Amino acid sequence: MKVLPFQIPKSKNVALIYQEDIGEIFYDKLHQHEEIQLCAIVKGEGSLVIGDSINEYKPGDILIIGSNLPHVFKSDTSNCEASFMKTLFFTKTSFGNDFFELGDFAEMQKLFTISESGGIVTSNKEVVLQLFSTLKEASNFDRFIIFLKIVSALLKAEINPLSKFIYQKKYSDNEGKRMSNIMEYTMNNFNKEIDLDTIAGVSNMTSNAFCRYFKQRTNKTYFQFLIEVRIENACRLLKNHDALIAEVSEKSGFKNISNFNRKFKDNKGVTPSKYRIQN
């Protein structure tokens, strides 16, 4: 199976694809696909890396992921035994080259624009989740009607972007595998010490070449990205566990608690202690 691009399995002559992902974890390789992805998280939590940002996902979240937008789900299995996501996949030309160009669908351009950087729905969620719950038993025709209702509900909702920077060039297979290796190593080892030589070796590049490569594609340095991964892990521990702040710091890969407190406040705007109280 190719890491990038990723082929969405579909039946012949089916324009709108409904898929349920059920398992211990979601697919955890960096990947992109032509289809726009509308998904509802039923079970599971963890991190979603998309563009230049690391985001938390949890049950009840509704996510929008654009066409050929590289992303990876990293499930956190410490708090949930299973992951369950319901997804609709479609492209701008799924229903014909000019379908969404018709005046009747002018509002769809807003959704397409949002999808380019990814989005998380923050209002009108109950309506969208209820519509998602009816998809499994629906016929292909009824799914199309439900899809239009979901789109209508999304267009009325507030949607926050998931990323601020998107690398505009489409990844080749080799480049995609390289970035996937970098992401996978980072997500699996963020709680350990990672030096520049080690991560450059994972990418099969020299240290200088790796720094340029990563910065060009994410608009940030690798170590900025690593700190953000560690902070997101700390956020989940603070919300879901009664561990001491020092223990959260250590489990998230920080060498000392003072550095952890400083980096956490720089990233989240509050101290770890206050974040725990607020959440």
Regarding whether 96 and 196 lie in a shared domain, the answer is no
CA gap 105, 119 in Å, rounded: 20
Q: What is the pLDDT of residues 28-54, one digit of tens each?
A: 888 889 999 999 999 999 999 987 789
Out of 116, 141, 161, a domain closes at: 161
Out of 141, 161, 181, a domain closes at: 161
CATH number at 61 reads: 2.60.120.280
Regarding whether 210 and 113 lie in a shared domain, the answer is no
* Distances from the Cα of 91 to the Cα of 15, 17, 111, angstroms: 8, 10, 12
Regarding whether 90 and 36 lie in a shared domain, the answer is yes
Regarding whether 144 and 60 lie in a shared domain, the answer is yes
pLDDT of 27:
87
Q: What is the pLDDT of residues 149-208, one digit of tens each?
A: 999 999 999 999 998 877 766 777 777 889 989 999 999 999 999 999 999 999 999 999
* Distances from the Cα of 202 to the Cα of 34, 52, 96, angstroms: 27, 20, 43
Which residues, listed in sequence order, are joined to residue 87 by a DSSP beta bridge? 19, 39
Q: Is residue 120 part of a domain?
A: yes
pLDDT of 3:
46
Regarding whether 156 and 113 lie in a shared domain, the answer is yes
Regarding whether 213 and 137 lie in a shared domain, the answer is no
Q: Is the pLDDT of residue 10 over 70?
A: no
Regarding whether 98 and 151 lie in a shared domain, the answer is yes
Regarding whether 123 and 28 lie in a shared domain, the answer is yes
Q: Look at the pTM and tell me if it is higher than 0.85.
A: no
Q: Is residue 184 part of a domain?
A: no
Regarding whether 96 and 223 lie in a shared domain, the answer is no
Regarding whether 195 and 156 lie in a shared domain, the answer is no
Which residues, listed in sequence order, are joined to residue 72 by a DSSP beta bridge? 49
Candidates 265, 214, 197, 271; CA nearest to 49 is 214
